[in-house]
Amino acid sequence: MTSTFFGLEIAKRGMFTQQSALSTTAHNVANANTPGYTRQRVNFVQTEPYPPVSKNSPTIPGQLGTGVEAGTVERVREGFLDIQYRSENNKLGYWENRANALEKMEEIMNEPSDTGLSITMDRFWQSLQDLALDPTNAGARSVVRERGVAVAETFNYLATSLKSIQGDLKNELDVSVKQINSLAAQINNINKQISEIEPNGYLPNDLYDERDRLIDQLSSLANVKVSNTKSGGNALDIAEGAVTIEIVDDNGKSLGTLVDGKQKRANQLSVGYNAQNGLVEKVAIGLKEVNVLDFNSTGKISSLIDSYGYTYESNATVFEKGLYPDMLGKLDTMAFEFAKQFNQTHSEGWSIEDYNSGTHTPVDFFDFGGTQLTDSRGAASILSVSQDIINSTDHIAAAYPDSTGAVTVGNSANAIRLAEVKNSTFRIGGETTNFQNYYEGIIGEMAVNSQEATRLTTNSQTLRDSVDGRRQSVSAVSLDEEMTNMIQFQHAYNASARMITMQDEILDRIINGLGVSGR
């Protein structure tokens, strides 16, 4: 039969267990505003019943319960919601940074406005039309020269500003790479601590929380896949073990292991730049190198690479891609073709200097800082009005020979031809168009890309917040719920204490009352 003190032991276990639950509730309340904290709960477990199963167990009808004990203290967390959150956070990291890069580009291009390249070129064409009305007017010639200088300086400003932002993107990319490596090192250190604690039968919940918080941060930088490795020893079944983190592409294919949970090692992520053009050409994860075209892992790193620019070689041809290289390339093409076509028309005309000397000497209106360019690379940043035009406006070729080849004072035929360059159709950047339409196409494409990036940023933000809301409803600390639990555990504790009082009264009757006559 059971001991006389059997009830005391049950009540004592009840008090200790409820006290553990109250302590856990206090821990939850204290960490209600701690970033990354997951609420915890005590798993109540019935103790072994009496009598235990054995050959010499007493014969009684059934078994008696022996009370309760605190089992494990575990986190209340849903792993599937973590996977969803990190997936949406990854997409948000990509589109948010792409939207920021395009927003800065729009601010530089500043179209439509009264100070952009479009209005500056319109004023240049208008000055040529004004010159056609009075080609001998020195004031009109000065206006043409100054408007030409304004066009060149606007091209210079746009190219220089875009290159400056591109340099900032490179710095941000380097900082983000360092951030990934720092997070990987911290996660690896936590892996080591967890592997030392779990084999002893403990659950390091606070370390789990910190590791999950770091993985959440990592998910915005690159697309990661997380898998767990058991610690062994006397680790509990619900112990999470060490995590292995791989960077994967959009199809889930592994590009390299960032954190090795089995070896307890963190690999370094690095970005390789091309020696010729300075653009990204490869990404390395530890000793494994990945071609930049294969590194299609969404996240902030990939977005910065797409914005800053990357290079690759195909069929012995080097290609440069990316938001800023593409825009710079189109500006260079426009500046190069504009100067080429305008100079060709200008060199066919006669200037006042030609008329006075009686000899036609072709003069370029624009040049590239005295450099003879063989292609359009870098043209926008060095476009300038030629030194001959700067020195004297008499070199502006406003006249054009008539059908007999004669040139007269007041002839403005070439000024009209120069003004018509605006509407002339050329082959620019693989397209047959004119300068105005080509530039409108550049701005239109930029605007559409920016609008799309902003829309997808909003969508990703909404989806991430929605998943985070569901995750918080499971894992976050609710003060109302904790207060309810506190009252519940407190009443249970008081009831167990009352059971001890009752057992004390029973024992008092047995010890002091039994065998005493007359009572």
Most distant CA atoms of the chain, gap in Å = 154
Residue 469 clears pLDDT 90, i.e. is over it: yes
Q: What is the mean pLDDT of residues 382-386?
A: 93
**Across 154-168, 267-281, 320-334, 355-369, least confident range:** 355-369
- CA distances to 89, 92, 117, 118, 457 from 450, rounded to whole Å, are 20, 15, 19, 19, 10
Q: In this structure, are residues 248 and 255 in contact, taking their beta carbons and an 8 Å threshold?
A: yes
Greater confidence (429 vs 411) lies with: 411
pLDDT of residue 373: 82
Look up residue 183 and give its two tokens: 């997070």
**Is 516 a residue whose pLDDT tops 90?**
no
Q: Which amino acid is at 348?
A: E
Task: Give yes or no for a contact between 158 and 247, defined as CB atoms under 8 angstroms apart.
Answer: no
| Per-residue confidence (pLDDT) for residue 460, from 0 to 100 | 94
Distance from the first to the final alpha carbon of the chain: 28
Q: Angle, to 10 degrees, between the axis of helix 435-475 and the axis of helix 117-133?
A: 170
Q: What is the DSSP string of 213-243?
A: HHHHHHHHHS-EEEEEE---TT--TT---EE
**pLDDT surpassing 90 at residue 426:** no
pLDDT (mean) for 33-46: 91
Tell me the per-residue pLDDT of 492-504, one tens digit each, with 9 for 90 and over: 999 999 988 988 8
Is beta strand 265-266 parallel, antiparallel or unpaired with respect to 384-385?
unpaired
Q: Which of 16-20, 43-47, 51-55, 352-356 has the lowest mean pLDDT?
A: 51-55
> What does the pLDDT average to over 205-211?
93
Q: How far apart are the C-alpha atoms of 408 and 426, rounded to whole Å?
A: 31
Q: Are strands 40-46 and 288-291 parallel, antiparallel or unpaired?
A: unpaired
Contacts of 10 (CB under 8 A, 6+ apart): 65, 66, 67, 499
pLDDT band, very low/low/confident/very high, at 2 (cuts 50, 70, 90): low
Tokens read off for 116: 């952009």
- Angstrom distances, CA of residue 125 to CA of 48, 68, 135: 96, 91, 14
Question: Taking a C-beta distance cutoff of 8 angstroms, is the pair 308, 324 a contact?
Answer: yes
Q: Which token pair is 340?
A: 């080429």
Q: What pLDDT band is residue 515 in, cutting at 50, 70 and 90?
A: low
Domain boundaries, the chain: 6-76+480-513, 83-107+161-322
Average pLDDT, integer, range 367-394: 88
Q: Read off the pLDDT band of 517 (50, 70, 90).
A: low
Residues 167-188: pLDDT tens digits?
999 999 999 999 999 999 999 9
Of the candidate ranges 37-51, 56-70, 337-351, 412-426, the one whose mean pLDDT is the lowest: 56-70
Report long-range pairs for 263-272 (Cβ below 8 Å, ≥24 apart).
264/188, 264/191, 264/192, 264/195, 265/188, 266/181, 266/184, 266/185, 266/187, 266/188, 267/184, 268/181, 268/184, 269/177, 269/180, 269/181, 269/184, 269/222, 269/301, 270/177, 271/173, 271/174, 271/177, 271/305
Strands 224-229 and 242-248: antiparallel
Whether the per-residue pLDDT at 163 is higher than 80: the answer is: yes
d(Cα 395, Cα 148) in Å, to the nearest integer? 14
Which pair of tokens denotes residue 256?
């390299």
Cβ contact 194:244 at 8 Å: no
Whether the pLDDT of residue 458 is over 90: the answer is yes
Q: Is the pLDDT of residue 145 over 70?
A: yes
At residue 296, the pLDDT reads: 85
Residue 371 has pLDDT above 70, yes or no: yes
Q: What is the pLDDT averaged over residues 35-61?
A: 82
Residue 424: the pLDDT is 84
DSSP H or E run through 512: helix 479-513
Higher pLDDT, 424 or 283: 283
Helix segments in 201-359, DSSP class H:
205-221, 300-308, 323-347, 352-357
- Rounded Cα gap, residues 67 and 50, in angstroms: 10
- Report residue 54 as tokens: 């054995």
- The strand pair at 426-428 and 431-433 is best described as antiparallel
pLDDT 10s digits, 266-278: 999 999 999 888 9
Burial class (CB in 10 A: 0-12, 13-18, 19+), 172: middle
CA dihedral 278, 282, 284, 290 (to 10 degrees): 180
Per the prediction, the chain carries an average pLDDT of 89
| pLDDT confidence band for 66 (50 / 70 / 90) | confident
The number of residues making up the chain comes to 519
